[in-house]
Structure 1
Amino acid sequence: MTDLTCFRLDITDHVAHLVLNRPQALNTMNPVFWRELDHVLQQLHRGNDARALVLSSTGKHFSAGMALDAFGGAITLDDRSPEGRAAIFDLLGGMQATFSRMEELRMPVIAAIHGGCIGGALDMVSAACIRYATRDAFFCIQEINIGMVADVGSLQRLPRLMPMGLLKELAYTGRRLSAERALASGLVTELFDTPEALVQGALQSAREMAAKPPVALWGSKQALNYARDHGIEDSLRQMGWLQGAIWSNRHVHEAVSAQQQRRSAEFPPLAVLTPFAEIPSP
């Protein structure tokens, strides 16, 4: 168990469970939140112990989004000059990159959402592979209600997850989307009666995923993300290259043998990643 300022992290049986852990502040997102999330995602990506990730939360709401008080102190957006406005591009780029790390993580990511998932929190969970929710959960593109455009991923990722007409309605009005409508629209995969059942359901799914060959999970995520952004012909061509790169007769034999023998299969982990800049010089 690793306790951070904004999160709690546990890795058990190859499943990482990252919990937003500032319930007294409605799990709002301040600069520390971004630093810790970015660090955790980098470490999970480079390592090979975790094979699936569950993201859940504590308190009344999953997250109320950006900590607005940060804009009065830690974060300053200078709109007084073209140079200051240009700098907003790089500030936002860094924030966007953190959520993109979740999308690019070498493992499936399940977001377990209870209560409100508001503003930046919706940006974050839109980068997950799968979203589960409690029946009392709701989603809100809050930015329009405070005079700005949602800018950290919702408007870019959600068009691929739900009907465009419904998304435009939410983006233009700031209305709440109920869990039932989120399920019907495809944003959410399954609903649970309580937060406890939600987390257990998400962890159970993650355990099922973690029992598969990690390189096949990586390959499946690569193929799905590529197909989302490309045409069928290009995606089929990429699939041929991808399958040729990761095919393993040993993995297939182990999976089939384990099923026949009614036992758990054993698969090797992904390689630990060491960035080139961190390799010791000879």
Structure 2
Amino acid sequence: MNTPTCFSLNWNDQVLHLVLNRPEAMNTMHPTFWRELDTLLTEVHHEGRARALVISSTGKHFTAGMSLDTFSNAITMDERSAEGRAAIYDLLTDMQATFTKLETLRMPVICAIQGGCIGGGVDMVSAACIRYASADAFFCIQEINIGMVADVGTLQRLPKLIPLALVKELAYTGRRLSAARALACGLVNEVFDTHEATVQAALQCAQEIAAKPPVAIWGTKQAIHYARDHSVEDSLRQMGWLQGSAWSNAHVREAITAMKEKRAGQFPPLAPLTPFQDLG
């Protein structure tokens, strides 16, 4: 992809670090952000080079969510006709698909959150695998405060992560959820004193993940997400098929040998993917 304008990218071995870099605008999300993020996630998924993706931010806040001027300039929400209202559905489907790519990437996604994680920020981090937060972080379902329903994933994913009654409290009132309370309810994995420590913890976790066989990590992510949305019986059946497709005697031998020899294991990357429409 072309050099993004809304975030910077840094590689550390097989870990890709995406940093939101518009602190002067509180890292708000406008159409360019959505376009660049969607393109990047598609490329990362297809390449298979990254073994983990870390998302962090700059400035006082992780993100203030959707840029409000987007609604008056770039996005037309036409409620005057059935056709216009149907177009709203299609627009939201496109936006939802971008954050769903975080959930369906072949590698785990880790977010390091400081300050406000507001509106669309909650949509985004709720699609991640692991969330670390600094002590000053807070989460806010801001949409209700501006007269609308949160519509890009928060209300669908957050009830899978924290108690339903708490989701309702936050969604109905627009109150802030502090880092300490987010830790207590399980939304974040750990809270750190500073933003710098939070980012370092996220990168360290990503490096640990990157040291495992990528195909086993892929299979584990698949199994966890499937089990979240299906019965135990269905999930066990899916696990049998998944293990049958992902099993590697060579990977198991290498992992055990590396452990005994106290060295890093050597595992092949995920195979690059070529979109069907690009074949031939």
TM-score range with shorter-chain normalisation? over 0.9
Q: Indicate the percent of aligned positions where both proteins have the same amino acid.
A: 70
1:18 matched to 2:22: no
CA shift for structure 1 position 255: 0.3
Alignment partner, residue 106 of structure 2: 106
Distance 2:70 2:171 in 1: 23
Alignment partner, residue 151 of structure 1: 151
1:122-133 equivalences in 2 (<5 Å): 122-133=122-133
Secondary structure at the counterpart of residue 49 of structure 2: coil
Does the 8 A contact of 2:20 with 2:27 survive in 1? Answer: yes
Alignment partner, residue 61 of structure 2: 61
Does the 8 A contact of 1:144 with 1:172 survive in 2? Answer: yes
Deviations 1:166-210 (A, max 9, x none): 110000000000000000000000001111111100000000000
Distance 2:218 2:204 in 1: 19
Does the 8 A contact of 1:3 with 1:9 survive in 2? Answer: no
Does the 8 A contact of 2:63 with 2:116 survive in 1? Answer: yes
Alignment partner, residue 232 of structure 1: 232
**What amino acid maps onto 2:29 in structure 1?**
M
Secondary structure at the counterpart of residue 110 of structure 1: strand
Secondary structure at the counterpart of residue 132 of structure 2: strand
1:6 matched to 2:43: no
Distance 1:186 1:262 in 2: 33
Please report the RMSD computed on the Cα atoms of aligned residues, expressed in angstroms. 0.8
**What amino acid maps onto 1:162 in structure 2?**
I
> Structure 1 stretches (4+) deviating beyond 6 angstroms?
none
Distance 1:196 1:49 in 2: 26
1:221-260 equivalences in 2 (<5 Å): 221-260=221-260
**What amino acid maps onto 1:134 in structure 2?**
S
Alignment partner, residue 189 of structure 1: 189
With normalisation by structure 1, the TM-score equals 0.98
Alignment partner, residue 271 of structure 2: 271
Name stretches of at least 5 consecutive residues in structure 1 with no aligned partner: none
1:218 matched to 2:209: no
CA shift for structure 1 position 10: 1.3
Alignment partner, residue 199 of structure 2: 199
Deviations 1:122-164 (A, max 9, x none): 0000000011000110000000000000000000000000000
CA shift for structure 1 position 49: 1.6
Secondary structure at the counterpart of residue 60 of structure 2: coil
With normalisation by structure 2, the TM-score equals 0.99
Does the 8 A contact of 1:116 with 1:137 survive in 2? Answer: yes
Alignment partner, residue 177 of structure 2: 177
CA shift for structure 1 position 11: 1.7
**What amino acid maps onto 2:253 in structure 1?**
H
Does the 8 A contact of 1:52 with 1:209 survive in 2? Answer: yes
**What amino acid maps onto 1:33 in structure 2?**
F
CA shift for structure 1 position 48: 2.0
**What amino acid maps onto 2:239 in structure 1?**
M
**What amino acid maps onto 1:44 in structure 2?**
V
Deviations 1:256-276 (A, max 9, x none): 000111111000001000001
